[in-house]
Amino acid sequence: MQQQEKPPWWKTDFGPPYFKDLMHPVLKKNYGKWAYHEVIRPGVIKRVAESGDVVYVVRFGTPRLISIYTIRELCDIADKYCDGYLRWTSRHNVEFILTDESKIDDLIKEVEEKVGFPCGGTWDTPRGKYGLTNIIHTQGWIHCHTPAIDASGIVKAIMDELYEYFVDMKLPGLCRISLACCANMCGAVHASDISIVGIHRTPPLVDDDAVRRMCELPSTAAACPTAAIKVKAKEKTLEVDGEKCMYCGNCYTMCPGMPLFDPENDGAAILCAGKVSDARHPPELSKVVVPWVPNEPPRWPTLVEKVKSIFMAWANNAKKHERMVEFIERIGWERFFDLAGLEFSWHLIDDFRVPPFMYASYRVGTQFRW
Amino acid sequence: MAEITYTEEDKQKVLEKLDQKTWKIKDLAKVLRMNKKVVQKIVMDLIEEGKAAYWSSGSTTYYATPRYIEEYERRRAEG
Amino acid sequence: MSETPLLDQIPDGPWPSFVKEIKKTAEMQDKAVAEGKEIKMPGSARALLKQIEISYKDKKTHWKHGGIVSVVGYGGGVIGRYSDLEDIVPEVHHFHTIRVNMPTGWFYSTKALRQLMDVWEKWGSGITNFHGSTGDIILLGTRSEYLQPCFEDMMKLDPPFDIGGSGSDLRTPSACMGPALCEFACYDTLQVCYDITMEYQNELHRPMWPYKFKFKFSGCPNDCVAAKARADCAVIGTWKDEIQIDQDAVKEYAEWMDIEEEVVKLCPTGAISYDAEKKEIKIDNSNCVRCMHCINKMPKALKPGKERGATVLIGAKAPFVEGAIIGWVAVPFIPADELFDRLCEMAEKIWEWWDDIGKFRERVGELIWRRGIGEFLNVIGQEADVRMIKHPRTNPFMFFKEEELVQSEVVKKLKEKGIKWRSFEYEEEEI
Ligand code: HEM
Ligand code: HEM
Ligand code: SF4
Ligand code: SF4
Ligand code: SF4
Ligand code: SF4
């Protein structure tokens, strides 16, 4: 495409719309001047500004995958109740901002009945009553090419099971659940109270014909992070070293002739006891506590049961405000495996190339004295 | 920063390579025994002129000619 | 008999169902077609459902990667996809995703949102993700030839929507809602994030680096956008001076809260004391580590100090290849009003260094490990600070710079023999 004459409306590099232009006037007015907040009931946060202005933020869980027709319904509701403004949170929840307290019930009723999204996902730290928020997750079988598990279907199955904790606030502390459908971990779920990660357990099965037809041999070999791929120049195909491969799927990305799927061996690992906030305990990575569960669509009963038992072991035994990692550090891993009914196996002892030793002494998080 | 300059001949060499497969700048520079910054500038200019284009693995980006990419994508789509 | 017996089981249970969303799209799409609306991907939502049903049966994905990247002039923002079931579901044989740069903080007017949905009704599947985990709006599924006209329609909107990042570029930066709604924000997360996004439009749209680079902005150590775990450069609000206390509000909390048990005892450093008689708290700010616990507990009574700014953590990433890491402290404190300038200055130095010597698919954090923290601090012009570590090193295998040595006879002779010392300056690699 040579440079052609561009039409007058043509532009590039203009970036996102300016956020203040899309913000309710009362938020613009009190920008940076909020005084305090209170959670007045599950899903409803009252925010009071220094000016005395009050807004009610009403939060609803969504499935993340949303139809444009549903978004139009949400817009209709925002027009009716919120002067035409709404926002999403960082965890796939949608929020309506009301200035009139008396409209809260009608708003909730309308969203729940018309759209089917439940109100909740909040926590009241002052009172020590915590609700579960939405599961942050990736694409799975809906759109990605390297997943070892589906994402949306598992999230749905888990949230159905833990629904009562979303719409209420009866947990001892914050609990963040995240899911990534392969070890690339697009959602970067490695620092959550509970994370579910799709894992492949078999190297790519090279389809020589497809490789010859579709692939660039050197680029495919070069894409492997562990140098597990050899070019067989004479046969014009590729060979995988099963001892080096760690099933990341990079080669399949480069070359459709390198599928790494085995429906019977792909599945999920479950990790727990990570966090990102610095509150009390500094940030931590999650640790693997279940090495593998199989794919069982459409409802993944084994996976759901394991997640639930980890969740309940914490929910039933943690002290007020304690997150998973604080809880386990207090009671010890041996007790935790007992309480959650999990089996410890040799897979859970780290034998992967550990991160550089020096990293252990670096300060992660922001806990400082001045 | 000094202006990066190159010859028409260098540009031609880069273009030839780009028509053969998808490249990373670093490899292209190595194969052509040219400075990486010069190769990067040439590729950017070629993209600007529409003679080169991007190809992406989702997480990383490669470069080739539009002709090559079109052909490559057609093969991938058909399987 | 239903065509999708497995997916039909999904709407069971109270949580909102993605299957319902796809089915609804399919029905409405058919209706829109029947009404004579211009729909470029008719039947695509129904076909998607069919393909996912097959995935549920086969227990595997049926997508192949495509390398198609974007629109004229851009090198990122589109994820290419082809179905490997083209005979069965031709409608989604090409099903590329467009990443759209969301308004910072995910604030929308219905007017802006409706316009964008109209564009996607015409050019795509009508299915979206609000939002992808980087924060972009994800428009899920269209054909290569519709990418350009779809973007052109997005340009013409009021306000227009631009495309986000993908590939080896600056990924779409994201921020917590900060000052728009939260009293804890220690700097203007939204404005800084927006300004960085605008400053580096070229880096966002035209991938040229060894790999991706992410910025995320949280207004306080609660880190509501999980920047510490996900961003190469995480900017986390904090403060240096004293926590502001409103003792009257403490008294209100004392009415019903067990301050001793839930605030004092849970402070990680024991920095708080409570006078139960006077119902007042005292904080030893020299021992406070700004963790936010007490402030979270008593938002009405406690506020971060007045000397506000941010800490920059560097290097967070997911497991591939060296294992997962959480970002570590690179700059302990930047005052709020200097933040944008200092971040730009730092980012540009890092990018130049990384672009120059970074290996293919090496994130900045990994490069720092490979080259050493000494060189990194030189690159960004940052003095070492005890706040960068949990504890000093446990081994004595240190490097000293040549000029730090006593210029002894031995040193002189070593030099004569041509011994070289590590410089900690990086030099451009010769080819
Ligand atoms: C009482 C203290 C806290 C307040 C006032 C608070 C405030 C907020 C606000 C205003 C949001 C919406 C942000 C946005 O969507 O951009 C939010 C969301 C979030 N916050 Fe906090 N935060 C608090 C404590 C924490 C802590 C300790 C964590 C630690 C993990 C945390 C993690 C999150 C997460 C993950 C979200 C996503 C919300 C969702 O579920 O959709 N927050 N918080
Ligand atoms: C070699 C490693 C990786 C590869 C090959 C890869 C590939 C991909 C691909 C193909 C997608 C598109 C999924 C789709 O829409 O179909 C994607 C999405 C994404 N990637 Fe990665 N990725 C890698 C690592 C990472 C890492 C380490 C992160 C984060 C730190 C990340 C963050 C994301 C995010 C946030 C998305 C959007 C996912 C969503 O919300 O659905 N990726 N990645
Ligand atoms: S986590 Fe893996 S499978 Fe899932 S969207 Fe990311 S790259 Fe694809
Ligand atoms: S799956 Fe990953 S590690 Fe295994 S051969 Fe392919 S690129 Fe290499
Ligand atoms: S990170 Fe801090 S400032 Fe930002 S929304 Fe969360 S609590 Fe508020
Ligand atoms: S912010 Fe954390 S460390 Fe500081 S006084 Fe409060 S609880 Fe203690």
C-alpha–C-alpha distance, residues C253 and A169, integer Å = 20
Closest-CA residue, ligand 3 atom 4, reads A181
pLDDT surpassing 90 at residue C127: yes
Instruction: Identify each DSSP E strand in A149-193 by its residue range.
Output: 177-180
Q: Is the C-beta atom of C223 inside 6 A of ligand 5?
A: yes
Probe ligand 2: pick from C100, C125, C139, C212, max atoms within 8 Å of CB?
Answer: C212
Whether residue C169 contacts residue C206, with contact meaning beta carbons closer than 8 Å, is answered with yes
pLDDT at C2: 82
With vertex at residue C51, the alpha carbon angle to CA C45 and CA C57, rounded to the nearest 5 degrees, is 140
HSE-CB at A182 with a 13 A cutoff on CA atoms is 23
CB atoms A188 and C105 under 8 Å = no
Phi, psi of A21 (to 5 degrees): -75, -15
Q: Report the 10 Å Cβ neighbour count for C196.
A: 24
Find the CB nearest B76 among A2, A219, A256. A256
Q: Minimal CA–CA distance to C231: which of C241, C242, C245, C217?
A: C217
pLDDT at C353: 94
Whether residue C249 contacts residue C301, with contact meaning beta carbons closer than 8 Å, is answered with yes
pLDDT surpassing 90 at residue C3: no
Q: Is the C-beta atom of B56 inside 6 A of ligand 2?
A: no
End-to-end CA separation in angstroms for chain B: 46
C-alpha–C-alpha distance, residues A273 and A251, integer Å = 32
Q: What is the Å distance from ligand 2's center to C79 Cα?
A: 10
Q: Is the peptide bond before C72 cis (omega within 30 degrees of 0)?
A: no
Closest ligand to C-alpha of residue A146 is 3
- CA A349 from centroid of its chain's CA atoms: 25
Q: Minimal CA–CA distance to A178: which of A265, A305, A275?
A: A275
Q: Show the DSSP H helices in C67-143 as ranges.
A: 110-123
CB atoms B79 and A256 under 8 Å = yes
Q: Minimal CA–CA distance to C198: which of C175, C180, C173?
A: C173
C-alpha–C-alpha distance, residues A185 and B58, integer Å = 13
C389-415 residue pLDDT tens: 999 988 888 888 888 999 999 999 999
Six token digits for residue B77: 């789509």
Query: Closest approach of chain A CAs to the CA of B26, in angstroms?
Result: 12
Query: pTM for the whole thing?
Result: 0.93
Handedness of CA C313, C319, C321, C323 (dihedral sign): positive
CB atoms C183 and A57 under 8 Å = no
Whether residue A56 contacts residue A27, with contact meaning beta carbons closer than 8 Å, is answered with no
SS3 content of chain B, % helix, strand, coil (to 5): 55, 10, 30
> How does the average pLDDT of chain C come out, rounded?
94
Q: Which residue has the tokens 């910054």?
A: B37
A131-157 residue pLDDT tens: 999 999 999 999 999 999 999 999 999
Handedness of CA C371, C197, C121, C29 (dihedral sign): positive
List the 262-291 stretch of A: residues with Cβ below 8 A of C: 263-264, 266, 274, 276-285
User: To which H or E segment does residue A327 belong?
Assistant: helix A324-331
List the 245-274 stretch of C: residues with Cβ below 8 A of A: 253, 257, 262, 266-269
Q: Minimal CA–CA distance to C196: which of C107, C312, C111, C317?
A: C312
- Chain A interface, best mutation among B30, B47, B60, by max A CB count within 10 A: B60
Query: Closest approach of chain B CAs to the CA of A258, in angstroms?
Result: 12
Q: What is the CA radius of gyration of chain B?
A: 13
ipTM above 0.85, yes or no: yes
Query: Closest approach of chain B CAs to the CA of A158, in angstroms?
Result: 29
C231-263 residue pLDDT tens: 999 999 999 999 999 999 999 999 999 999 999
C-alpha–C-alpha distance, residues C334 and C217, integer Å = 13
Probe ligand 4: pick from A184, A232, A250, max atoms within 8 Å of CB?
Answer: A250
C-alpha–C-alpha distance, residues C61 and A28, integer Å = 45
Whether residue A250 contacts residue C264, with contact meaning beta carbons closer than 8 Å, is answered with no
pLDDT surpassing 60 at residue A360: yes
Six token digits for residue C261: 């048990």
| List of chain B residues whose C-beta atoms are within 8 Å of the C-beta of residue C210 | 26
A87-91, A364-368, B58-62, C29-33: least confident range = B58-62
Interface contact A8, partner C, CB < 8 A: no
Handedness of CA A156, A160, A165, A171 (dihedral sign): negative
pLDDT surpassing 90 at residue B3: no
Q: Is the C-beta atom of A22 inside 6 A of ligand 1?
A: no
C280-327 residue pLDDT tens: 999 999 999 999 999 999 999 999 999 999 999 999 887 777 778 899
Chains in contact with C, where contact means 3 or more Cβ–Cβ distances below 8 Å, are: A, B
Q: Which residue has the tokens 């700059």?
A: C331
CB atoms A1 and C12 under 8 Å = no
HSE-CB at C135 with a 13 A cutoff on CA atoms is 32
State the pLDDT confidence band at A6, using cuts at 50, 70 and 90.
Answer: confident
Q: Minimal CA–CA distance to A255: which of A233, A232, A228, A222?
A: A222
| List of chain C residues whose C-beta atoms are within 8 Å of the C-beta of residue A226 | 321
Six token digits for residue B65: 């000619």
In percent, the amount of chain A with pLDDT more than 70 equals 98
A111-120, B1-10, B21-30, C2-11: least confident range = B1-10
| List of chain B residues whose C-beta atoms are within 8 Å of the C-beta of residue C64 | 76, 79
pLDDT surpassing 50 at residue C360: yes
Interface contact A210, partner B, CB < 8 A: yes
pLDDT at A358: 76
Handedness of CA C314, C317, C322, C327 (dihedral sign): positive
